[in-house]
Amino acid sequence: MGNQQDDRHRLLLLHRWLLITLVVVTALHMHTAEAAPAPEKKKQQKQMVPCMYIFGDSLVDNGNNNNILSLARANYRPYGVDFPSSAASPPGRFTNGRTVVDILAGLLGFQPPFIPAHAMAAQDEYARGLNFASGAAGVRPETGNNLGGHYPLADQVEHFRAVADQLTSSSSPEGKKKMTNQLGKCIYYVGMGSNDYLNNYFMPDYYSTARDYDPAAYAAALLQEYSRQINVLYDLGARKIVVAGVGQIGCIPYELARINDGSPPPNTVGNGAGIGIAVPGITISLGGANRRRSNNNVCNEEINNAIAIYNKGLLSMVKRLNRQLPGAKLVFLDAVSGGRDLVVNAGKYGFTVVDKGCCGVGRNNGQITCLPMQRPCEDRSQYIFWDAFHPTEAANRIIAARAFGSAPGNDAYPFNISRLATL
């Protein structure tokens, strides 16, 4: 009798437990389905273009620096903490989850794991697309040298040249023609310039560029080299080229931490205005001791003004190349308007923290970047910034969606990436 009652009780408990589990699992599942990006919902979505090649810096790097001697690496936790396939080993993205180009690739119909890092890709993946981006890289070859090894724009373009040569080296003229034709249909994403300012021009203790050029002359020099590299891509077969402008880097947590207080941050040398960079086991601070403080308490307007000159020139470059290069279709992405939208409409997007990194150390979590094994903020979707320099996946989603589908002339000039893909 007692045993029977016990059994019934146990059965009841089991039943209840199963029910709760079912509800929880269903809820989780529904939540995942709801939060899942469009490209994963539509598993069967057709790829809009045959291939995608990516050039840039840490905003889009997905692991090309992992095996080189560099402080500009993100292959340690908690980087990638929200990246679906990063359970075994962190993939080297400088954010909690997906980058802008991951999301763009998804919107273009590429299936996860999207476009592989060139440094780790297998040969049979080359024709579908590669990511050549490298943290700390800039347009200028010396940019980012304060952080160690990386691949500047010219190196990334040379890596693509080797790939294009290999792809078009078919023995038959037919095969060669087909491959060249295909390269003209791919999307080429190029995002460069942030480090030419952060890790060059505005680091006068390490670089002489601020003494050699005023902001207008510096932008002109950058754009001359940038234009040269775009021409090389064009000569190698690229036609649909997305050129991303630089965001308001005077407003990133790293800059906010530097300008809004003059006192030294913890664990840094010098007077503390330098860049805090973490690699497993070491924290170093470099340079930047003589930074002038801005009068504006919100952002570093000296940097934003220099960026505005550069972005204006970049848009002119895109317009000019569209006129000069037959068959070329370049699209300029306005990262400043996109970034402003994130802050102005923060509430609408669910952001509650707009000026602080989710993971980092010191003022604004911006004095030292996210350290190995550091515990990040709980709700990453409420932060625009993941660390001192880089947006969260949540912010990247909004930026990518705007680049892909905005109305003509809004964030993308002369039209959005969705249209570029169908041309």
**Smallest gap, in angstroms, from Cβ of residue 32 to ligand NAG?**
24
Which residues face 107 on adjacent strands? none
Residue 31 burial by Cβ neighbours in a 10 Å radius (0-12, 13-18, 19+): exposed
Q: Which residue has the tokens 């370049």?
A: 330
Residues of this chain that interact with ligand NAG (CB under 6 A) are 405, 408, 415-416, 418-419
**Smallest gap, in angstroms, from Cβ of residue 336 to ligand NAG?**
20
Among 306, 314, 302, 160, CA closest to 225: 314
**Smallest gap, in angstroms, from Cβ of residue 149 to ligand NAG?**
39
* Number of other CB atoms surrounding residue 149 within 10 Å: 16
By beta-carbon distance, which residue lies closest to ligand NAG? 405
Two tokens, residue 327: 């068959």
Beta strand 275-279 with 282-286 is antiparallel
Q: Which residue has the tokens 């709801």?
A: 34
CA–CA gap between residue 224 and residue 213 (Å, rounded)? 14
Among 397, 401, 389, CA closest to 79: 389
CA–CA gap between residue 59 and residue 61 (Å, rounded)? 6
Query: Which residues have CB under 8 Å from 281's CB, separation 6+?
Result: 372
**Smallest gap, in angstroms, from Cβ of residue 407 to ligand NAG?**
6
Two tokens, residue 14: 């089991």
Among 409, 419, 355, 399, CA closest to 102: 399
DSSP annotation string for 100-121? HHHHHHHHTTPPTT-SPBGGG-
Q: Which residue has the tokens 């989850």?
A: 97
Residue 15: active-site member = no
Give 312 or 419: the residue with its C-beta nearer to ligand NAG. 419
Phi-psi region of 196 (alpha: psi -120 to 50; beta: other; left: phi over 0): alpha
Residue 165: active-site member = no
Give 336 or 412: the residue with its C-beta nearer to ligand NAG. 412
Among 194, 227, 80, 61, CA closest to 130: 61
Give 123 or 422: the residue with its C-beta nearer to ligand NAG. 422
CA–CA gap between residue 395 and residue 293 (Å, rounded)? 28
Among 142, 257, 283, CA closest to 206: 142
CA–CA gap between residue 26 and residue 19 (Å, rounded)? 10
**333 by DSSP, 3-state: which?**
strand
Give 139 or 335: the residue with its C-beta nearer to ligand NAG. 335
Give 164 or 420: the residue with its C-beta nearer to ligand NAG. 420
**Smallest gap, in angstroms, from Cβ of residue 339 to ligand NAG?**
20
Give 213 or 415: the residue with its C-beta nearer to ligand NAG. 415
Give 277 or 412: the residue with its C-beta nearer to ligand NAG. 412
Cα–Cα distances (Å) from 171 to 51, 58, 177, 178, 237, in that order, read 22, 37, 11, 12, 18
**Smallest gap, in angstroms, from Cβ of residue 202 to ligand NAG?**
35
Residue 58: active-site member = yes
**Smallest gap, in angstroms, from Cβ of residue 152 to ligand NAG?**
33
Q: Which of 57, 61, 387, 411 is catalytic?
A: 387
**Smallest gap, in angstroms, from Cβ of residue 101 to ligand NAG?**
17
**331 by DSSP, 3-state: which?**
strand
Give 372 or 405: the residue with its C-beta nearer to ligand NAG. 405
Q: Which of 118, 150, 159, 390 is catalytic?
A: 390
Question: Catalytic positions, please?
Answer: 58, 387, 390
